[in-house]
Amino acid sequence: MAGVGRNALIEMFEPAVTGMGYELVDVELVGSGGNRTVRLYIDSESGVTVDDCAAVSEVISDLLDEEDPIPEAYNLEVSSPGVDRPLRRREDYDRFSGETVKVKTYGPVSGQRSFTGTLLGIEGEEVVIHAPEGWFRIPLEQVAKAHLVADI
């Protein structure tokens, strides 16, 4: 979206969302032209209901009308992060220690760019994962995308 990026929207939305008692998990900007969507993922310790999403949507809609950071037409969606919850913050890596994760990196780490295994947390500036191929320490600045993987 011209003029505004994901990080700017996170900074704009986070105070309002946390002020309502929710965690802003992530923001996505998808689509082009008249089919743009601003998608927020929210969470809370007790989970997220449709009513929670509607309440946050109303507040964010008002904020977007007030700030007008997106000149094009767009749709606003608010939902829970689901079973493949993204890991965005440093705290997420400790909070979800013991869970199965998939991590993609910007460049090769130990000869690969995609890792799936058990998250052991974060040590210093490295994400530690135990995968079938072995143990991996992935520099946090190399993580392009990370999310939980549903155990089947």
Q: What is the pLDDT of residue 3?
A: 55
Q: What is the pLDDT of residue 25?
A: 93
Predicted TM-score (pTM) of this structure: 0.77
Residue ending a domain, among 57, 79, 101, is: 79
Give Cβ neighbours of residue 26 (< 8 Å, ≥ 6 apart). Answer: 10, 40, 41, 81, 86, 88
Read off the CATH number of the domain in which 124 is found. 2.30.30.100
Q: What is the pLDDT of residue 54?
A: 97
Q: What is the pLDDT of residue 152?
A: 58
Give Cβ neighbours of residue 112 (< 8 Å, ≥ 6 apart). Answer: none
Residue 29 and residue 15 in contact, taking contact as beta carbons nearer than 8 Å = no
Q: What is the pLDDT of residue 2?
A: 46
* 10 and 73 in a common domain: yes
* 23 and 68 in a common domain: yes
Name the residue range of residue 115's domain.
Answer: 90-148
| Owner of token pair 């767009």 | 74
Read off the CATH number of the domain in which 45 is found. 3.30.300.70
| Tens place of pLDDT per residue across the chain (152 aa) | 345 788 899 999 999 999 999 999 999 888 877 788 999 999 998 889 999 999 999 999 999 999 888 888 889 999 999 888 999 889 999 999 999 999 999 999 999 999 999 999 999 999 999 999 999 999 999 999 999 998 75
Pseudo-torsion of CA 91, 141, 145, 96, nearest 10°?
Answer: -20
Q: Tell me the CA distances in angstroms from 14 to 24, 27, 110, 115, 116, one per residue in order.
A: 6, 10, 35, 29, 29
Q: What is the pLDDT of residue 94?
A: 92
Query: What domain count does the chain have?
Result: 2
Tell me phi and psi for residue 11, to 5 degrees.
Answer: -60, -35
